[in-house]
């Protein structure tokens, strides 16, 4: 009877908490429960990365892709947090026993933390009266902890180990719904800070340690099991940059630009910090140009900073994030490695500070705003880039100028034998000159479907650099070299129209300066009408319209009605 009453009371308490305001974590767990509904009551479906022990209550995106961080993930079915299975029954019908925090450490499987609580004399405290939140490291978390650090803790259990365990505790019961993103908590070790992040994919971190199993209620608190041992944080991002020998180049750049001071203020930042080696990889002329240009330097540095904390354990797939510079970068993962814009370049991750997190990278990220306009060409525009270099026109692009480049795709230079033969002659200089400097004298045509310059239309994806903007175009710009009269005379389909224009003494119109739109009937159209209609047509007017919508009436009417 006592067991029945205890189980009923436990179910009531757990249900009360379960019905409280939910969080991203709680919603993901609910979806996991729905996915496993055929397996019995209170069963959750998880994904485990193949070849590892990493398990996740995963998002729909990861679930349907059957992968996490690009690695295959298999499905596991386990009891949802707070429940347990019973022999001979389907699913997990029983509520897990509720006891004090010390015993709850065993229930969640954090037996090493429980052992260390014994050895450090913390046991009496967490068995007694109180309301604690214990972020308990898993057994594996203690195993992967640096051996020197672990030995130092165990050599002084009454002070160092006790302090370390107290740093994992808060003197207040906090469920995942209370662990808001960006929340700062005071630990039970000298009120030192714990930094909470709660992400939309359901991941919750404490100093970038991921909560593996949450909300295990105890009579005197709650236990959340985490994937690593966390250490106290007492320095800002600015402090770290000023004292790390790997970041001497970054220190000089951020000091000169004024960005370093910002990283010493309160906030929630992620810094992708290029190492000295990363700066050394840059061509010296590029590096010196950026360092000597305050605007480009600030843009470059702000491109490495997010105004949010992105811990590595919260990244389960690629997503775009807006930098302080204003443009986006994509942060993703490939197994245990973080990727930036699709490349593995993070060599040290999750350096937690009081105002954010730092990831060290071995490449400098250069935004469009810090690049010269010609540098914005892609691999698909290499022919254009090479031509600009070979013809010497790149030297005319001053770093402090303002230019608009029309850069054709490589395909625009292929498949045309005449053009191919002329690429390395005066013609290439002429073509590139038009693409670089003559936009103001080119004709621009705008429709609902496209923007075209002369004979070539723009492709979506223009980029703005430090000294100009580059537009990708489909064809090599080929400005008109003939008048309308010359074009019509070269085409045998328009002989009747030209004879009528000549008889009306209007041929000068076809060579006059201006911007005209001319609708010209072909010979077939004229031949389709009767002689009487033709005579009537000659006696009426021609209407032509310029681009400014000025209408001018002349002696020949050329607009024929289609039957």
Same domain, 67 and 90: yes
Same domain, 375 and 363: no
CA 39 to chain centre: 37
Contact 349, 340 (CB under 8 A): no
Same domain, 202 and 127: yes
Q: Shortest CA distance to 249 belongs to which of 281, 217, 227, 225?
A: 281
Same domain, 112 and 195: yes
- The number of helix segments (H) and strand segments (E) in the chain equals 22, 29
pLDDT tops 70 at residue 414: yes
Sequence-ordered list of residues with C-beta below 8 angstroms from that of 9, at least 6 positions apart, any chain: none
Residue after which a domain boundary falls, among 421, 442, 473: 473
Residue after which a domain boundary falls, among 201, 226, 251: 226
Classify residue 544: in a domain, yes or no: no
Which tops the pLDDT comparison, 163 or 507? Answer: 163
The pLDDT tens digits for 143-161 are: 999 999 999 999 998 999 9
Say what the pLDDT of residue 519 is: 84
204-218, 265-279, 334-348, 390-404: the lowest-pLDDT one: 390-404
pLDDT band at 546 (very low <50, low <70, confident <90, very high): very low
Q: How far apart are the first and last CA of the chain?
A: 96
The pLDDT tens digits for 419-441 are: 444 444 434 444 444 454 444 55
Residue after which a domain boundary falls, among 340, 367, 394: 367
Classify residue 284: in a domain, yes or no: yes
The pLDDT tens digits for 33-62 are: 999 999 999 999 999 999 888 999 988 888
141-145, 180-184, 404-408: the lowest-pLDDT one: 404-408
Say what the pLDDT of residue 421 is: 45
CA 92 to chain centre: 40
Contact 473, 408 (CB under 8 A): yes
State pTM to two decimals: 0.80
- Averaged pLDDT for residues 58-79: 90
pLDDT band at 442 (very low <50, low <70, confident <90, very high): low
Q: Any long-range contacts for 52-58 (C-beta under 8 Å, 24+ apart)?
A: 53/140, 55/212, 56/203, 56/316, 57/25, 57/28, 57/29, 57/31, 57/32, 57/202, 58/28, 58/32, 58/316
Same domain, 87 and 165: no
Same domain, 178 and 75: no
Classify residue 349: in a domain, yes or no: yes
- Secondary structure E strands in 400-503: 403-408, 444-446, 451-453, 456-465, 468-473
Which tops the pLDDT comparison, 301 or 392? Answer: 301
120, two tokens: 């450090």
Classify residue 231: in a domain, yes or no: no
pLDDT tops 50 at residue 557: no
22-31, 37-46, 434-443, 523-532: the lowest-pLDDT one: 434-443
Classify residue 208: in a domain, yes or no: yes
What is residue 561's DSSP assignment? P
Classify residue 86: in a domain, yes or no: yes
Classify residue 136: in a domain, yes or no: yes
Classify residue 560: in a domain, yes or no: no
Say what the pLDDT of residue 21 is: 64
CATH number at residue 315: 2.30.180.10
Number of folded domains that form the chain: 5
Say what the pLDDT of residue 526 is: 85
Mean pLDDT, rounded, of the chain = 85
The domain in which residue 438 lies consists of 371-473
The pLDDT tens digits for 74-103 are: 999 999 998 999 988 999 999 989 999 999
């Amino acid at each position: 009877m006592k067991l029945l009453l205890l189980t009923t009371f436990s179910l009531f308490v757990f249900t009360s908490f379960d019905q409280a305001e939910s969080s991203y974590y709680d919603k993901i767990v609910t979806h996991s429960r729905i996915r496993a509904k055929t397996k019995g009551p209170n069963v959750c479906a998880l994904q485990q990365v193949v070849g590892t022990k990493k398990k996740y209550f995963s998002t729909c995106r990861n679930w349907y892709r059957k992968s996490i961080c690009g690695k295959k993930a298999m499905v596991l079915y386990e009891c949802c947090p707070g429940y347990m299975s019973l022999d001979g029954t389907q699913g997990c019908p029983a509520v897990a026993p509720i006891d004090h925090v010390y015993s709850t450490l065993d229930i969640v499987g954090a037996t090493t933390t429980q052992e260390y609580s014994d050895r450090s004399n913390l046991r009496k405290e967490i068995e007694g009266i109180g309301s604690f939140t214990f972020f308990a490291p898993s057994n594996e978390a203690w195993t992967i902890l640096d051996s020197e650090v672990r030995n130092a803790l165990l050599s002084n259990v009454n002070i160092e180990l006790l302090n370390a365990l107290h740093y994992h505790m808060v003197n207040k019961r906090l469920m995942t719904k209370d662990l808001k993103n960006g929340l700062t908590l005071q630990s039970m070790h000298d009120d030192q800070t714990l930094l909470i992040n709660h992400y939309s994919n359901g991941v919750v971190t404490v100093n970038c340690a991921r909560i593996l199993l949450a909300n295990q209620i105890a009579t005197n608190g709650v236990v959340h099991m985490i994937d690593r041992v966390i250490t106290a944080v007492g320095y800002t991002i600015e402090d770290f940059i000023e004292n790390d020998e790997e970041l001497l180049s970054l220190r000089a750049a951020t000091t000169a630009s004024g960005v370093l001071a910002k990283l010493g203020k309160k906030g929630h930042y992620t810094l992708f910090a290029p190492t000295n080696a990363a700066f050394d990889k840059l061509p010296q002329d590029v590096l010196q140009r950026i360092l000597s240009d305050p605007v480009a330097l600030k843009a470059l540095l702000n491109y490495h900073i997010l105004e949010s904390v992105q811990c590595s354990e919260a990244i389960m797939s690629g997503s775009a994030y807006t930098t302080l510079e204003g443009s986006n970068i994509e942060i993703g993962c490939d197994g245990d490695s973080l990727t930036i814009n699709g490349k593995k370049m993070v060599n040290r991750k999750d350096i937690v500070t009081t105002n954010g997190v730092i990831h060290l990278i071995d490449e400098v990220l250069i935004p469009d705003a810090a690049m010269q306009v010609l540098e914005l060409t892609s691999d698909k525009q290499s022919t254009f880039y090479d031509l600009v270099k070979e013809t010497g026109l790149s030297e005319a692009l001053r770093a402090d100028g303002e230019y608009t480049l029309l850069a054709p795709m490589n395909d625009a230079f292929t498949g045309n034998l005449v053009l191919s033969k002329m690429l390395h002659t005066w013609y290439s200089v002429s073509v590139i000159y038009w693409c670089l400097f003559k936009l103001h004298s080119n004709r621009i045509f705008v429709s609902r479907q496209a923007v075209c310059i002369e004979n070539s239309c723009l492709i979506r994806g223009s980029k703005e650099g430090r000294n100009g903007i580059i537009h990708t175009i489909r064809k090599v710009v080929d400005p008109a070299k003939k008048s309308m009269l010359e074009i019509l005379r070269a085409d045998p389909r328009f002989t009747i129209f030209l004879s009528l224009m000549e008889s009306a003494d209007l041929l000068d119109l076809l060579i006059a300066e201006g911007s005209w739109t001319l609708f010209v009937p072909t010979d077939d159209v004229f031949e389709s009408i009767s002689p009487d209609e033709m005579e009537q047509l000659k006696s009426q007017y021609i209407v032509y319209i310029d681009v400014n919508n000025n209408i001018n009436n002349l002696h020949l009417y050329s607009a024929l009605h289609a039957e």
